[in-house]
Structure 1
Amino acid sequence: MASLANVLSPNELTNLVTPIPAAAAAIHNVPDQVASVTPLIGTIVITSQLNYIRAKKLGYDKTNVFSFWMRDAAKHYDAVKAELLKSPGVLDVTRSNQNIVRFGGFTGDNDWDGKEPNTTFIVHCIVIDKDFTSFFKMKMAEGNTFTGAVSDTAHFVLNEAAIKQMGLKDPIGKRFMMQGIKGKIIGVVKDFHYASMKEKITPAVFWYQPQHFSTVYVKTTTKDAKKALAAAGAQFKQYNGEYPFGYAFLDDVFNSLYQSEQREGSLFNYFASIAIFISCLGLLGLAAYTAQVRTREIGVRKVLGASVTRLVGLLAQDFIKLVLIAILIASPIAWFAMHSWLQAFAYRIDLSWWVFIVAGLLAVIIAFATMSFQTVKAALTNPVKSLRSE
């Protein structure tokens, strides 16, 4: 070791440990790393938002509930319900005139005590049965829901958003009119999501109009869902002859609201995988090139007593610096893109710092795993052969 130090001047030793060509090559690999880190952050954000939507409390319980259109069976609902409740796997039954996951009806034809002149109040309306709120485990903020009495046709149940927008205080018993039907408010239901999370909860009204009931909801279990569907299909065919029986689970209807976001998530996964693969190829090639360029340096350091761990760390630090630079460049780009994407949702996650930390750690781990083979191989090379080759 002493003889080697005597043979080489300080300048020569400095040149041995200054891999300028490798550093220049590393700079050219930065765009590949940026292209891999950016979709990686996007994938994490989109997945987190979709998980947030699935986990968020909707204000009602849609688990293991399916619905079907009654057609002529609507005239025999009481008999249909009685038979369904006898069937294995059927826990409860109720009815309405549309799907609770995605309301379709709305009106501006309304009036109430204290309404300001020349004001417009658009409200979504759904006809429900007396046991609808208990079926879906909905909570009442005040008052009561329908009892099924004839007088309920002149009663209304509004959500909290409607009461707030109307500016009503102590709404129970107040006059309310909708589509020419005059009545009074008997209850206020807590706000619930009846549309996509892209929309804020807006005013909604429940009313009781038996002639408009058209959709049956059936509560079942995961284990007995097939039995419940068979029972519902049998009841449907009994009153509808050869008409095909169609049904939809509310979970599926809910998921369909976010098909475009799910496709975007899949595309981000796809592009992230491709970008990471390409960046790994670049890192692998760069690691091989760096090991070749620094062969002489590695040999000298080993002769001077450097351990394999020390050499691997020395070679790896350049790659880690490369990835860190890519993260610094990719983070603001990804933040801007994901911040804009999240603005489409009225209910969304916060774009937290941990997303970028996790993406950065994954990028570092992937980079280290990619180049470790070449760096370890170079560090284990016999120093005599390394110096002799030079």
Structure 2
Amino acid sequence: MLIISAIVVFNQVNYLHNKDLGFSKDQIMFFPMRGDEMFTNKDAFKDQLEQIPGVASVSVGYGFPGDAVAGDGIKTLKNGQLVENPATQLMVDYDYIQTLGLEMVAGRPFSEEMGTDRDKAFIINETAVKNLGFETPEKAIGQQLTWNVWNNTNPDSLKVGQVIGVVKDFNYKSLYEKVETTVLQIFPDAAWKVAVKLETAQLESSLDQVETVWNKFSPEYPLEYKFLDENFEVMYQSEDKLKTLLGVFTGLAIFVGCLGLFGLAAFSAERRKREIGIRKVLGASVENIVMLLSKDFVKLVLVALLIASPIAWYFMDGWLQDFAYRINIGWYVFLIAGISAVSIALLTVGFHAIKAAVSNPVKNIRTE
């Protein structure tokens, strides 16, 4: 049971860390803006960051992967009436898609050259296409969306625009949660986080220069940044601990089991010493003797596998239910566990079996 469980947990944890999330999370540092001067001059701040050698792209917004996002609805026209749909709102700028490496599946990204993109354009993900009833990404282009603008002075103000593009689904949350209907839009008033895509070759010098630019706009606050990939690593700390603990306990269980099996094999070989001697006198080979002493232990291991497999599958399948994105428990897991258990048993029993098989049969019979 422990071997099967360990294999499943190891595979799922590796899947969590290596799954393609639909965006590039490598070498992207992000941090919150601080200080009135930085917020007032955020365009100038962004421009200076983009001038740094080794900085590939910069995005300023609200709603980066692994960080806070807004759960707000979006309205669509159905039968001439506006219908509210649950959605996640990502308040982005013109460089968000480029910085994160999102993939467009239809339409186009936001462009500063299009004067209407700020106030009358939306980009949605593939899940939104399905949930909002647009059928295909291509048919979603040009569809009207309406959003209640975050505005303290006029809470009833609406933003009415069209879908200009569809991005491939990307996991901006942990893999415990499914990708939801997601809407990207230009809304500078909500921008307070900065993502900087760095080139690996100039990483250290670029970090120093980012801090220099930061100090120009916000000298009273320290630059507190994280890397996007680190944010996702932190999400699965408990799973990493479970993986480590299960590996340790599985190793201990195998060790303790082998001690008992080693002693049992020694007892069995001693008890059948006379039988082994007679068989050897009658022409039995070393291989025959080893097989004779080992087969009963292998049968017990196979019976244990039959008992443990459904129980382990039940509990591991229940554990995997917590993940929106998970591995499947394939037949190979039980095959690997079975081969491992049988191999461990044979190695443990083999010492006494071979020792008994090569001993002097005359001496054993005379002793008996």
Q: Which TM-score tier does this pair reach, normalised by the shorter chain?
A: 0.7 to 0.9
2:124 matches 1:161: no
2:113 matches 1:136: no
Deviations 1:46-94 (A, max 9, x none): 1212223333322211122221112233444444444444445433222
Partner residue of 1:241 out of 174, 194, 219: 219
Distance 1:371 1:111 in 2: 70
Q: What does 1:348-359 correspond to in 2, within 5 Å?
A: 348-359=326-337
Q: Which residue identity is paired with 2:72?
A: T
Distance 1:45 1:344 in 2: 14
Distance 2:84 2:44 in 1: 42
Post-superposition shift, 1:324?
0.9
Structure 2 equivalent of residue 173 of structure 1: 142
Post-superposition shift, 1:285?
0.9
Post-superposition shift, 1:105?
1.3
Distance 1:214 1:178 in 2: 20
Distance 2:29 2:11 in 1: 27
SS in 1 for 2:178: coil
Scaled by the length of structure 1, what TM-score is found? Answer: 0.83
Q: What does 1:103-142 correspond to in 2, within 5 Å?
A: 103-108=68-73, 110-114=74-78, 120-142=84-106
Partner residue of 1:261 out of 239, 242, 252: 239
Distance 1:115 1:179 in 2: 20
Distance 1:115 1:384 in 2: 98
Post-superposition shift, 1:120?
4.7
Distance 2:303 2:58 in 1: 59
Q: Which residue identity is paired with 1:305?
A: G
Partner residue of 1:229 out of 200, 207, 211: 207
Distance 1:341 1:66 in 2: 33
Q: What does 1:239-318 correspond to in 2, within 5 Å?
A: 239-318=217-296
SS in 2 for 1:71: coil
Deviations 1:194-237 (A, max 9, x none): 11222221111111112322211122244543333222222223
Structure 1 equivalent of residue 364 of structure 2: 386
Distance change (3 Å), C-alpha of 1:115 and 1:160: farther
Distance change (3 Å), C-alpha of 1:367 and 1:340: same
Structure 1 equivalent of residue 159 of structure 2: 182
Post-superposition shift, 1:315?
1.2
Distance 2:318 2:196 in 1: 39
SS in 1 for 2:359: coil
**Higher-RCO chain (CA-CA 8 Å, sequence separation at least 6):** 1
Distance 1:299 1:246 in 2: 77
2:203 matches 1:211: no
Aligned-residue CA RMSD (Å): 2.3
User: Identity over the aligned pairs, expressed in percent?
Assistant: 40
Structure 1 equivalent of residue 152 of structure 2: none
Scaled by the length of structure 2, what TM-score is found? Answer: 0.88
Q: Which residue identity is paired with 1:141?
A: V
Partner residue of 2:22 out of 59, 62, 72: 59
Q: Which residue identity is paired with 1:156?
A: F
Distance 2:107 2:39 in 1: 29
Distance change (3 Å), C-alpha of 1:285 and 1:172: same
Structure 1 equivalent of residue 33 of structure 2: 70
2:98 matches 1:98: no
Distance change (3 Å), C-alpha of 1:115 and 1:244: farther
Distance 2:346 2:210 in 1: 57
Distance change (3 Å), C-alpha of 1:274 and 1:128: same
Distance 1:313 1:227 in 2: 66
Distance 1:207 1:132 in 2: 10
Task: Answer whether contact 1:156 1:183 (CA < 8 A) is retained.
Answer: no
Post-superposition shift, 1:271?
1.8
Q: Which residue identity is paired with 1:130?
A: Y
Distance 2:31 2:354 in 1: 64
Distance 2:327 2:187 in 1: 39
Post-superposition shift, 1:119?
5.6
Distance change (3 Å), C-alpha of 1:116 and 1:355: farther
**Structure possessing the higher radius of gyration over alpha carbons:** 1
Task: Answer whether contact 1:97 1:213 (CA < 8 A) is retained.
Answer: yes
Task: Answer whether contact 2:57 2:98 (CA < 8 A) is retained.
Answer: no
Task: Answer whether contact 1:175 1:182 (CA < 8 A) is retained.
Answer: no
Task: Answer whether contact 1:176 1:183 (CA < 8 A) is retained.
Answer: yes
Distance 2:361 2:80 in 1: 90
